[in-house]
Homo-oligomer: A and B are copies of this chain.
């Protein structure tokens, strides 16, 4: 850390103690420049050639994977897909391959012993979202390669989320092993079949391998990171989340206990719907944008000096993109008219309290006059360091109780803390170097506004990135695809280059200091 950065960080820490979460201001100090990381210089010509020569076989592996449905929500083909993954890891020469039973769909553990100094963990998900085949251009589990504006694409459920990049990564391993006899790093594969269900059993699966995972150098999630223009975004963190329901009902709030009653009795009957509305309203400012729960912002730590550095390096990219994002959402202005570094700061460092859904009583057309016996809201709060789900819910419960809303039921649905990776981690440096080699310097963000349970790895002290060349779209939607062979002149990587990126990453990590 140079002296200038240290001094600026101290200024920031002082400023941060006065910052209210309503308006997060980040000091305009130097920004991290991902282009300053030296491009990875290694050339693995024989491996690249092996990939090119075997590309049809490699593509056939992707097709084989997407042809195996594995819809976790409907328990369709899930265990078959787990077994298919087990077989593929065994064929690659993994010395340990285990189906890990859990309370839900099984996980898969694999270990490849390369007798190497470094060890990389590969996080995989092998389950997929449900499909409505009638909405698709091709049968979603046929594994067809079709023409698309971006080139030839594999169009199928899981083509990009996540079987495409995952199996491409295994193809890269196959070519490395075929040419070099082994890998440059040891690998631990940990896969789950419940990602689309919110990973309810993955923490337990990870816990079973915690001691071995701690010895690794990082966690990698094969991911198609490119946009149609070829640009790459890379994030170093995710927010946590706590998802919960608030409910007012006749049993606790007064009013009818088991069923709606005639609305005219509102004159003398308590109404759960009003109680829910009043309880919800007590949680935020009148514009819905400041959380009025005492202490809710207290556990949010100021951005670290490194986070400020990365943040400032990402502002320009955000400024180029944010108007398009707003337009895509049909949003005229962000809250309070903020833009540029101010909106990025709030998006990056701010917690949230969001109503995902609310319902009660009659919601059809026209008139029905009832006093509903129950009203419910689903809420989520995105958590930034050092917020925790437990503390967030404790504060909300305490606030409700302090304001007389002891009748409001608070039901936790799920939750996990945020996760953060340092830009200085060898895995991150290696990835940036490889991206620079491939001519796609990423725009880097401290964290995305969304959530993922990466804490299961980062809490073990492991850096984690989801990265890769390649492009896909349609996750959770019809006509999901991954580009296999881009049109001429495109900066988007095809399957061969996606795999070569993975090859380079393994060697770059092995060489990292």
The listed residue (B263, B351, B359) touching A358 by CB distance below 8 A is B359
Please provide the chain A residues from 310 to 337 with a CB less than 8 Å away from any CB of chain B in the complex.
Answer: 329-335
A277 near B275: Cβ-Cβ < 8 Å: no
Q: With A358-B359, A358-B360, A369-B243 known to touch, is A267 a contact of B449 (CB < 8 Å)?
A: yes
Answer whether residue A289 sits at the interface, using C-beta atoms and an 8 A cutoff. yes
Number of copies: 2
Between A259, A277, A346, A451, the greatest number of chain B beta carbons within 10 A of the residue's beta carbon is seen for A277
A270 near B286: Cβ-Cβ < 8 Å: no
- A404 CA to B286 CA, complexed, in Å: 9
Q: Interface-forming stretch among A122-130, A374-382, A390-398?
A: A374-382
Kindly provide the distance from the CB of A382 to the nearest chain B CB, expressed in whole angstroms.
6
Q: With A243-B367, A288-B278 known to touch, is A269 a contact of B357 (CB < 8 Å)?
A: no
Answer whether residue A352 sits at the interface, using C-beta atoms and an 8 A cutoff. yes
A263 and chain B: residue at smallest CB distance: B354
Answer whether residue A350 sits at the interface, using C-beta atoms and an 8 A cutoff. yes
A280 surroundings in chain B (CB, below 8 A) = 274, 277, 281
Q: With A333-B254, A354-B271 known to touch, is A359 a contact of B367 (CB < 8 Å)?
A: no
B380 near A413: Cβ-Cβ < 8 Å: no
The listed residue (B258, B263, B282, B352) touching A266 by CB distance below 8 A is B352
A372 surroundings in chain B (CB, below 8 A) = 355-357
A273 surroundings in chain B (CB, below 8 A) = 288, 355, 358
A347 near B378: Cβ-Cβ < 8 Å: no
A288 near B271: Cβ-Cβ < 8 Å: yes
- A413 CA to B368 CA, complexed, in Å: 11
Answer whether residue A304 sits at the interface, using C-beta atoms and an 8 A cutoff. no
Q: With A356-B372, A357-B360 known to touch, is A331 a contact of B267 (CB < 8 Å)?
A: no
A364 surroundings in chain B (CB, below 8 A) = 357
Can you name 20 extra interface pairs (CB under 8 A) apart from A243-B367, A258-B330, A268-B347? A250-B331, A257-B329, A262-B449, A262-B450, A263-B354, A264-B450, A267-B352, A267-B449, A269-B334, A274-B287, A275-B287, A277-B280, A278-B284, A278-B287, A280-B281, A356-B361, A356-B372, A358-B361, A359-B363, A367-B414
22 residue pairs from A and B, CB less than 8 Å apart:
A198-B366, A254-B332, A254-B333, A256-B329, A257-B331, A264-B450, A267-B449, A268-B338, A271-B289, A274-B284, A277-B277, A277-B358, A278-B286, A286-B403, A330-B373, A354-B371, A356-B362, A356-B371, A356-B372, A359-B359, A366-B413, A367-B380
